[in-house]
Chains A and B, each alone.
Chain A
Amino acid sequence: MATIQVEVWLYGPLAHYGGSDDNISAQVYCDLPVGSCMQDLLDVLGMPTEERGITFVNGDLSAMPGMHPDLKHELHAGDRVAFFHMKSMWPFQYRHGVKMAEEFTESMGNREDKGLRSTFEK
């Protein structure tokens, strides 16, 4: 089966999903079948989606705490995926105008507050 390799960064308490026990960060490379998506990567890592907060794919914001519209986002060879723990935070004014994944942009656009808040409980 053809595979792709993605680079994964796990920060803070999520580092143990990458085999590190330092609670600071872990960098791992994961092999996935071609056509795999974010949920598949989470499965390989053994990490429930609820445990992650801010998430990036190639520097594009794809998820925030409590808001994960990227589960079906298809991953490609060489992608860099970064996961943050639930204590992470990113005030709107410091993320206003950053690059966002397509699904995330759409999801924000559907919200009345347009994503200006810091938490996004379901």
Chain B
Amino acid sequence: MWILRLNMTDRSYKFEDVPESYAMLGGRGLTSTIIYDEVDPTCHPLGPNNKLVFAPGIVTGAASPTSARLSVGGKSPLTGGIKESNAGTSFAPAMAKMRLKAVIVEGKPEQSGEYWTVMISWEGDKPKVEFMPADEYTGKDLYEVFPQIYERFGKKIHVCGVGTAGEFGYANSGIAFNDMKKRPTRYSGRGGLGAVMGSKGLKFLLLNAEGAPGVEYADQEAFKVAAKKLQVALNEHAITKPKGGLNSYGTAVLVNILNEAGGFPTRNFRTGRFEGAAKIAGEAIFETNKKRTGKEVYNHACSPGCVIQCSNTLYSESGDEIVSCIEYESAWALGADCGIDDLDAIGELVRLCNAYGLDTIETGVSIGVAMDSGMIPFGDVKGAINLVHEMGKGTPMGRLLGGGTGMVGKALGNPRIPAVKGQGMPAYEPRAVKGIGVTYATSTMGADHTAGYTIAPEMLSVGGTSDPLASDVAKADLSRAFQMTTAFLDSTGHCLFIAFAILDIPSGFEGMVEEVNAMLGVELTNDSAVALGGEILKRERAFNEAAGLTKVDDRLPEFMKYEPLPPHNVVSDLPDEVFDKVYGEM
């Protein structure tokens, strides 16, 4: 396997052997370690000294279910700290099959405004790299450009690119990857990594894996056994099985639930319940599609080999596609958080975010703050659509909004900024869901709903001080355990949604760890796998500390301490010691 370095200053490249110290790493573990090892934490995220790292997971490209995740890492222009954001896309297994352990993008063109396409294809016995001008694709809608790229480079390529948001250097820009229908809809959305890619003049990174040898297994037979364990667990579990919860209703099945719990942030986190929630929920998407298409439309896979298949598509009255996909967080950010209950309008807002290369969460939360500040009224669909256009077209107002939630609140003089470390808070109100608040506050990524997604089965019978029902302090222990296990899972290349099956069906967790062992020829136990996740977090934390983030940044927004959240009328009341304990005892 190789590590490929792309130097965007002089458009040169270099293949390097994988250092021994990186042998056990993949996905997030590898991107974060390379950033920790090679990037000056005090550098400007959009300057020449930041790096952008792409890495498929450890088992990505192998015959394993739901494992096509690609991690992208760098110093975040949104948080000022380390960032890993991963996406499910065919790009990930293609990269693994070309035996590219990581691609590191360095430098930047001396002339600003130059954009390049880099094509990596297989030739002979190793990948071949070509740089080509990409200026003709800049300033355009990604839905328009992606077909042009496929037309020019062939249908079998895999596409990664940035939209105008990345070109403008927005802190709310994402990196777009192709989905199974070659649309620009799979995103490494969070943290502004699109701007890092754009700052390097890299408009498109393309792969053509035809002829590539595929992944190498240390023990292919053992891998098959391990992957089968995981597959069985995924197929058995009520949430992950075909026509189960995620396959039917997608992640937006959570809308009504969080709403009833009083934890569905509404109108820039003013209340925890939205009167229009049922209209924008997964159930409504499923039934609206059924009515409009005349059949039950179950969700599809975002990437090859996924058995969960949770990605939805919203169809119009005429049966045409409005957009794919409306995730829970997107339905919330561009819906309830902006006081919008029009499903088709939300679909259009998501489509525009995809077209311009914007993170739906950061964009929605930023518009929510703008609405809360009186720029336009809550519920103003046309106004919201116009603001997204302003971002995409780079008007002065759009450039301000593209700076992200914190920037918008500061510019508009609004102290109600729902963000941690500058990153807009996702769709779970931490005053009502206090456990997620601990993870939001302490994650190395800023407010991130995916940072603490799963836990090892061994930790279920935690008891004592770790009893989640017993004490606030236990929330710190649990958040740490969640974050460690998740950092490992993010390194495997598996999607977080295997968490349901690997938690509830212990053989599933074993299967995941045994896959890694069979792939790498190591002997991790469940415990040592989680410990490996802890090591990854320590590196991320050390980078952040060197970048200037301190424990004072591990806090929820102040307004949540003094504004009670209806309907439960709860405030953020966890003592600072709880937040400090998460990393203080690691």
Contact = CB atoms under 8 A, between A and B. Distances in A.
A90 B504 contact: no
A97 B437 contact: yes
A12 B283 contact: yes
Contact of B278 (A24, A89, A96, A113): A24
Nearest to B249: A87
Contacts of B422: none
Contacts, number: 138
Interface stretch (B120-128, B147-155, B200-208, B258-266): B258-266
Most buried by B among A98, A108, A109, A118: A98
A24 B238 contact: no
A46 interface: no
Contact of A113 (B436, B461, B482): B461
B567 interface: yes
Contacts of A105: 469
A114 B468 contact: yes
Given A9-B260, A25-B278, A61-B261, A93 B482 contact: yes
Given A65-B238, A98-B261, A114 B254 contact: no
A63 B258 CA distance: 14
Given A23-B287, A25-B278, A96-B433, A84 B504 contact: no
B237 interface: yes
Most buried by B among A25, A65, A92, A117: A92
Contacts of B246: 89
A87 B260 contact: no
Contact of A24 (B253, B283, B453, B463): B283
Interface residues of B, number: 55
Given A23-B287, A65-B238, A96-B434, A88 B257 contact: yes
A96 B261 contact: no
Interface size on A, as a range, is 35 or more
A41 interface: no
Contacts of B48: none
A95 interface: yes
A84 B475 contact: no
B435 interface: yes
Contacts of A22: 287
18 contacts: A9-B260, A23-B283, A54-B257, A88-B245, A88-B257, A89-B245, A90-B254, A93-B482, A96-B433, A96-B468, A98-B263, A99-B261, A99-B570, A113-B460, A114-B468, A114-B469, A115-B469, A119-B238
Please list the 8 inter-chain residue pairs (A to B) with the smallest Cβ-Cβ separation, ordered nearest first.
A96-B435, A97-B434, A97-B435, A25-B278, A59-B262, A113-B460, A82-B260, A87-B245
